[in-house]
Amino acid sequence: MTTAVHIAAHKTEALLFFTLLQLTVIVLAARIGGGIALSIGQSAVVGEIVIGILLGPSLFGLLAPDVFQYVFHSGAPEPMQMLSQIGLVLLMFQIGLEFDFAHLDERRNRTAVMWVAGASLVVPFALGFAVGQISAPVLSPGAHALGSALFVATAFSITALPILGRIMMEFDMTRTPIGVIAISAAAINDVIGWLLLALITTLTLSDFDAASFALKVVLVLGFFLLSWFGVRPVMKRILHHCDARSGALSHNLLGIVLAAIFLSAMTTYQLGIFAIFGGFMMGVLLHDEHAFVRTWKARISPFVMVFFLPIFFTYTGLRTNIGSLDSAAAWGWCVLIVFLATLGKYGGAYVAARVAGMNHQEGKVMGIMMNTRALMELIVINVGYDLRVISQQMFTILVIMAIFSTVITSPLLRVWLPRIGIPVPSRSNAAERTAHEQHG
């Protein structure tokens, strides 16, 4: 009995050791990556994403395979998986807190949201479906062509809501009309995208049940209505009772808010649209509690940004292997797919923005923001890869497409935002703001 206890204790200590080792590498690497990105005019989040990918088999595992195996594969993966998902839920809560949706009271903005959300979903989905059908025999031989096409289409149409939110925070766009239109359209786009993902996964695994899918849509709408008209008044009453308007954030209030975030995330998970939307919804419910928002950003946000988020990036990078593109034909497909994905997302959002009354420059800004896919797309393609409807090559191509669509966002925003009257912080100011965020 004593021996068994000692063995169990040793295994626990070993798991703790390797988890702490991974966290040390991830946190320090993310800070280096974010700093480099800021120094070259990119958003810090881009550097953190790229570093997360490079910590996987694409570079670290290639250059130092023994060290890579020791650091990332000596312990069980579950602790990192859970930490990455908790961090993403908390990030989504913060993004919900950041946005002022009062701009949507204007008819022009509501119209723009619906046009942009619809076009930036339908156009790239149609393009992605066609590309997926044509490329499946070449890039995913043996996979079900329809299933492959549907997953590629979903990857084309998704927008990275949390990453777009972080980029917009760094450009001080969160309370501008065009910023609110973009994030609202991205939220609608992604809710529909996740519903599509759930439907396509169901279609891949079993026969399609239209009644079940319709019921899920009704339940999600019911959750949003209940949250706004039922949960929101209760949470605001709790915040006022705990004196949150004065900037206080007591231990009890923090515990209640965290529990509410997690319960909301659990609810959306049960409804089939993933836990992160529950976190986002809870943030939206409290976005107009300005004193609470300021206190959260000062005391809690730095830990989420510095500790939790890089874990998510690295965990995804561990599943990515760019070395699988081993021929000129594969790279030709890669260039074509990246181009078509960008054309569909950017073009659809641009045309929709113009139809909704925006000028040429505003349409360009809207198009490039909606084209930001980042790791939300990687969630989609990981599901497809696990279901074996996309191959390693297609998976890698879509990873490259996700990174490309994110990398080009900040440089183009830096050029285009001044043309619509939004000042852009200098690179040094962006670095100073990041440092300020890190120090609360």
All structural domains of the chain with their residue ranges: 2-77, 79-438
pLDDT score at 120? 92
Do residues 131 and 337 touch, judged by C-beta distance below 8 A? yes
Amino acid at 177: P
**Top CATH class, 79-438:** mainly alpha
Whether pLDDT at 286 is above 70: yes
322 DSSP 8-state letter: G
For residue 261, pLDDT beyond 60: yes
Query: Is residue 211 pLDDT above 90, yes or no?
Result: no
Mean pLDDT (whole number) for 228-242: 92
The Cα 47–Cα 58 span in angstroms is: 16
Please give the structure tokens belonging to residue 165.
């939110």
End-to-end alpha carbon distance in the chain: 48
pLDDT over 50 (residue 437): no
Per-residue model confidence (pLDDT) at position 210: 67
Higher per-residue pLDDT: 264 or 37: 264
How much of the chain exceeds pLDDT 90, in percent?
Answer: 31
Residue 435's pLDDT is 47
Q: Which tens digits make up the pLDDT trace of 398-410?
A: 988 988 998 898 8
pLDDT tens sequence across 43-69: 777 788 889 888 988 889 889 999 999
Q: Which residue has the tokens 């409807």?
A: 389
- Confidence category of residue 361, pLDDT binned at 50, 70, 90: very high
The one-letter amino acid at 353: A
CA distance 150 to 131: 10
CB of 98 closer than 8 Å to CB of 287? yes
- Interval 162-188 mean pLDDT: 81
320-333 pLDDT, tens digit each = 778 778 788 889 99
What span, in angstroms and rounded, lies between the C-alpha atoms of 162 and 168?
10
pTM above 0.85, yes or no: no
* pLDDT value for 246: 79
What one-character-per-residue DSSP string does 307-331 give? IIHHHHHHHHHTT--GGG--SHHHH
